[in-house]
Structure 1
Amino acid sequence: MRKTRILSAVLVLAFALLSLGIASAQDDTVTIDWWHINTNENEAAFWQSVADAYMEEHPNVNIEITILENEAFKSRLVTVMQAGDPPDLFQSWGGGVLWQFADAGLVRNIAPELEGEWRDSFSAQSALELFGRNGEYYGVPWTWGAVGIFYNKALFEQAGLDPENPPETWDEFIAAVEALQEAGITPISLGEREKWPGHFWWVYLAIRLGGEQAFLDAYNRTGSFASEPFIQAGEYLKQLIDMNPFPDGYLGLGYGDQATVMVNQEAAMELMGQWAPGFYRALTEDGSGLDEVLGWFPFPVIEGGEGNPSDVLGGGDGFAVGINAPDEAVDFLRYITSVENQRAGAEIWIVPVVNGAEDVVTENPVMESIIEARNNAEYFQLYYDQFLPPAV
């Protein structure tokens, strides 16, 4: 009887210790709340695989992913920021918007963790600097490239244009638009419902006409966005709009519609960022996109403009760290930007930003041209809607 009581006590104690062990393990679990905007199937699957691999290596970490369409993401992020409850990791383009979050105490300074090997791993140092200010850093870039004009070589040839010698000047570009129209081809794909695709046209015209100094004067309030180069940019844009080069109903089309018009070969050109080829592939059943007919050229030079011909509008995607993020979130961000993950991402859609990964895309002539433009830019301007504060 006594032995039975002792055995029962031992079992009770064992179960109690086991329960405490389970509870302790549960208490040690760290959850990372991660928001990104890669809604297309291949990119979303890639990110899930990255998270799964990290969680396998770190059993105490649970990564909860929220995927939002671009505009929905921006709207929801504003809501949680106003509530003082940012995600641990979230999509960011750097610049003024991120710096305002820093001023409000909503993002974490990761400069101590970044210093040294991690920081030195970035080949696109100018991109990294847009995620920091005054010695503090709030995130890192993931992909970085240049906005330029993607074009369909087959449609150029159909219009009597040399597909291997795209326009270099604005006058040559306007002549190409006219030639495409005469051949019954819509010259430019544009979906302006979300506004940001169309802003590329005006911003690039301002860069070509006024150069870096015009922007700096306006930004620093020694000038303004009503100065001559910006007014002229509007006049040049109106010249283009008056030619009716865009698809019917373009003001009501979204970016997805714009890309679809290109994939269906219903328009010859699109002014867009480096992600476009990956988006085209995602819209085709066999994943080939427009690879067989796709070309790229820099935004045309305007003769007499103050801008340098190599000046580039561009940017990319990265991730910022919320103020309440655990240390594991910073470690996961470092894992995301490893050479291995950058190389794997480059196989799908990105232009790498770390040393040892760029060779994945340089065999693609389009991506090689984009990297060359990014790296050789005399002046690199981040998208206005991300560099400038939201109030502007």
Structure 2
Amino acid sequence: MAGAAVAGCGGGSSSTDPDRNAKAKSFTLVITRNAIEGGKNTEEAEWITKTVIPRFVEAQKAKGVTAKVTFRGYGVDDEPYKTKMALDLKSRSGADVFDMDGIWVGEFSQAGYIAPLTNVAGARADTWDGWAHIPRSVQGLATFDGKRYGIPASTDGRVLYFNKRLFARAGLPANWQPKSWDEIIAAGQALKKVPGVTPIQLNAGTAMGEATSMQGVLPLLAGAGAEVYANGKWTGGGTAVKEVLGLYSKIYGQGLGDPKLQQEAKGRDKSFAAFAAGKIGILAEGDYFWRDVINPKTGIAKMADRDQAVGYAMFPAITPGRAIRGQSFVSMSGGAVTVINPNTKYPQQAFELLTFMNSPEMHKARTAGTPEITSRTDVNTEILKGDAFLSYIAEKVLPITAYRPGLAAYPQVSTALQEATASVVSGKTPDEAAAQYTKKLEGIVGGAANISTG
């Protein structure tokens, strides 16, 4: 396991001088990410080699500086890439600027492999003008213990999708936006009267894997006013977790969801096909569901009338104002973060490259022809103006979103939460499932002292 490799090997980064070689008239930098021309994430690789590098070198030349920048690409699964980054950083080698999944940031920080941007690049890391265009919620993707470790380039969001045609048959509004969990249940009960329809698909159980956590438990937990990890402690099976499991109990105990679908190895894919066929009323998913699953032209479960038949709404708090940060609506997001190797010989030049890669011009070049949600509001406003759905995610969802904790224990904690939902779907009470979760959590995170009551 790469996580074990990271967690067990401290001593990566050393204290650094942000100004070393700052006035160098020539320098060499290496960029790495899990992308390779002609293979995995080929567009990203081509963007770096054909746009970022030549334009950055040209900009440096205009300042009288000779820059040599090379790209070292990989085309492997995430875990081998993660292990390679960890081993490079542990040995104080590797690329100067590299990408990592946001969920790894805390883990790499605790191992001593990466450092806050202000430690690496100095005070200028906090005064970069780009921060004003990246919502604080999105900056959270690159933040650990209140400090920024890199810059997120893009992100996503989770929403509730609903079938407007089924809603019309159930007497529900086409502009539905539930303001509480009770309103979700009420919509489910109305949809239950429509023959042949599963009212709600809320991912549950371990067969759905991380989709249960990201599309179900975690946004609901945020809606109940808690996060899975906060203030140095993991959230146990207290009030918030019981409320989340209570909603699962209502959905699957009242026949508003299909419990068998949650247990099938391909249950998630089947839920996609069922929604596309007009057999599911409400489905919780990420924005890729719109872009890549039910896309009328290229989707894996094409939905010819998607633009007319599918609505979308934000996850509500359990009741208005009860969500994290006093919000009334929530979401969960993920994405990659570009960071600087704290062992770089050229920290100031690496920071210039990092910010150059995340400038409006480079974001627009990267997304040309394939609109996606970037981390920058100024860029999104321009490139998404013709896309109502992605604009909705960028403008409504990202400012209220949250992220998973980037800690080594998280995958096991996530599985424990998935198991708790499976218990409730199988008939256990929320209190029983919450108690089992707390017991399991104690074993994962080193005892009750590391757990809050939630």
* Cα displacement (A) at 1:298: 1.4
* Cα displacement (A) at 1:261: 5.0
CA distance in 1, matches of 2:276, 2:42: 21
**Matched-pair identity in %:** 17
- What is the alpha-carbon root mean square deviation over aligned residues? 4.2
- Distance verdict in 2 for CA 1:301–1:32, change over 3 Å: closer
Q: 1:64 aligns with which of 72, 94, 97?
A: 72
Q: Is the 8 A contact 1:29 1:60 kept in 2?
A: yes
Amino acid at match of 1:153: K
Q: 2:139 aligns with which of 113, 118, 128?
A: 128
- Distance verdict in 2 for CA 1:286–1:99, change over 3 Å: closer
* Cα displacement (A) at 1:140: 0.9
Amino acid at match of 1:302: I
Alignment deviations for residues 207-230 of structure 1 (CA, whole Å, 9 cap, x no partner): 333x2xx549x7337895222221
Q: Which residue of 2 aligns with 1:53?
A: 51
Residue pairs, 1:252-263, within 5 angstroms? 252-253=265-266, 259=272, 262-263=275-276
CA distance in 2, matches of 1:142, 1:134: 20
Moved more, 285-294 or 194-203: 285-294
CA distance in 1, matches of 2:384, 2:102: 22
* Cα displacement (A) at 1:169: 3.0
Q: Is the 8 A contact 1:310 1:373 kept in 2?
A: no
Q: 1:302 aligns with which of 318, 323, 326?
A: 318
Residue pairs, 1:67-86, within 5 angstroms? 67-68=75-76, 72-74=77-79, 76-78=81-83, 80-81=85-86, 84=90
CA distance in 2, matches of 1:255, 1:296: 19
- The alignment partner of 2:50 has SS state of helix
- The alignment partner of 1:356 has SS state of helix
Q: Is the 8 A contact 1:159 1:183 kept in 2?
A: no
Amino acid at match of 1:149: L
CA distance in 2, matches of 1:29, 1:254: 49
Q: Which residue of 1 aligns with 2:388?
A: 365
Q: Which residue of 2 aligns with 1:35?
A: 34
Matched, 1:153 2:164: yes
- Contiguous gaps of at least 5 residues in structure 1: 1-27
- The alignment partner of 1:149 has SS state of strand
Matched, 1:348 2:370: yes
- Contiguous gaps of at least 5 residues in structure 2: 1-26, 58-66, 411-443, 446-454
CA distance in 1, matches of 2:126, 2:69: 24
Q: Which residue of 2 aligns with 1:272?
A: 285
Q: Is the 8 A contact 1:167 1:300 kept in 2?
A: yes
Q: Which residue of 1 aligns with 2:355?
A: 334
Q: Is the 8 A contact 2:30 2:70 kept in 1?
A: yes
* Bigger-Rg structure (1/2): 1
Q: Is the 8 A contact 1:141 1:318 kept in 2?
A: yes
* Cα displacement (A) at 1:339: 0.9
Residue pairs, 1:162-181, within 5 angstroms? 162-181=173-192
CA distance in 1, matches of 2:156, 2:290: 13
Q: Is the 8 A contact 2:158 2:284 kept in 1?
A: yes
TM-score by length of 1: 0.70
Q: Is the 8 A contact 1:190 1:253 kept in 2?
A: no
Q: 2:152 aligns with which of 123, 128, 141?
A: 141
CA distance in 2, matches of 1:205, 1:164: 21
Q: Which residue of 1 aligns with 2:223?
A: 208
* Cα displacement (A) at 1:365: 3.4
Q: 1:197 aligns with which of 211, 229, 247?
A: 211
CA distance in 1, matches of 2:49, 2:308: 33
